Chain A
């Protein structure tokens, strides 16, 4: 019976670890035995990242892409034209570009190819891609769509035929 209990507890741990938070980075591994209370985690570094696909992954021509973040608040851009003093601190929304690199900090992300804006604060999109190698870049912008130092990630994927 103890064996059954251990298996069930292990399963619980795996489920909890696999699910994580909606904005947690992809898990790098799981542990089944954690009897000691874990030390308080350090404050998360501000970053944005791809939840999926993983860097180096081979994906389908139409794939779901999901972003995540830590240390920042993701929110929809307020309606209307904003003044710089109205920009909310530490609040971002995502942008994705295909086959493009991160823009320098402080750049206004253009409302133009190749940047898809997520001004509604959402974090998922399907992406159609032609087969072959592609770069995907997720970059955070503030309420005025300005890039923020360190809040960008680029991954490489291969789209299968």
Chain B
């Protein structure tokens, strides 16, 4: 009787082990590309700080040297795209008036201490229009919804390739509704790509606070509502790299920042 009990128990143990292995094998074969349905919001402490400080940072980011000519996007592989966006050019390095660089993401990297900010209820929109992502570079807060829409009469897919967040990849044929996604970890320069149209790229920058901006056509930017204090700004560009700038914010006048990027060697 005792030996039979042992035998049953050992079968049960072996089977439980197999079940665990089975679950691991079945569920974990490709976790990085598992569906990235919006995960539940993190159970963080309630926000306590408002982004209504008296400080402002204004600035301009310029390109050092001769501005490169915008490169035509190779849309020939999809005639529908070529028709939708004739003459479309790459947004990788866009230099405008005064050699200002567009699409530099500027954010407060350090200096906010333990302050916490509410997650905006309104989503940030990313459209697929004319076989490009609009906008090409944007920011969002941790936990804030990104609303991804396809306004083209053809299929795209949105394939996010994060380092800190969960990878996702979904197809979005024409006339399908917008899709919501949420990032739960801060991450700068998180790339999106389309696996139908290889030239389509966008970058989302996920930060923990509302103090960020993307430079305009002429390279200028403005960040409002900062508490008085000393900060470190980081400037990120998808091709030109990053740099940090110290800045002191007062209530009297906007703090001014200028920065310049060199062409990649």
Contact = CB atoms under 8 A, between A and B. Distances in A.
Interface of A: 1, 4-5, 8-9, 11-12, 15-16, 18-19, 22, 61-62, 64, 96, 98, 110-119, 122-130
B163 interface: no
A132 to B, nearest CB: 11
B176 interface: yes
B154 A113 contact: yes
Nearest to B11: A8
A119 B155 contact: no
Interface string B134-158: 0000000000000000000011010
Contact of B195 (A1, A16, A119, A126): A119
B19 interface: yes
A15 B170 contact: no
Contacts of B246: none
Given A19-B26, A62-B179, A113 B18 contact: no
A19 B25 contact: yes
A112 B198 CA distance: 9
25 contacts: A1-B5, A1-B7, A8-B15, A12-B18, A16-B22, A19-B25, A98-B171, A110-B78, A111-B77, A111-B197, A112-B77, A112-B79, A113-B78, A113-B80, A113-B196, A119-B195, A122-B169, A125-B33, A125-B170, A126-B170, A127-B170, A128-B170, A128-B172, A129-B176, A130-B173
Contacts of B15: 8-9, 11-12, 15
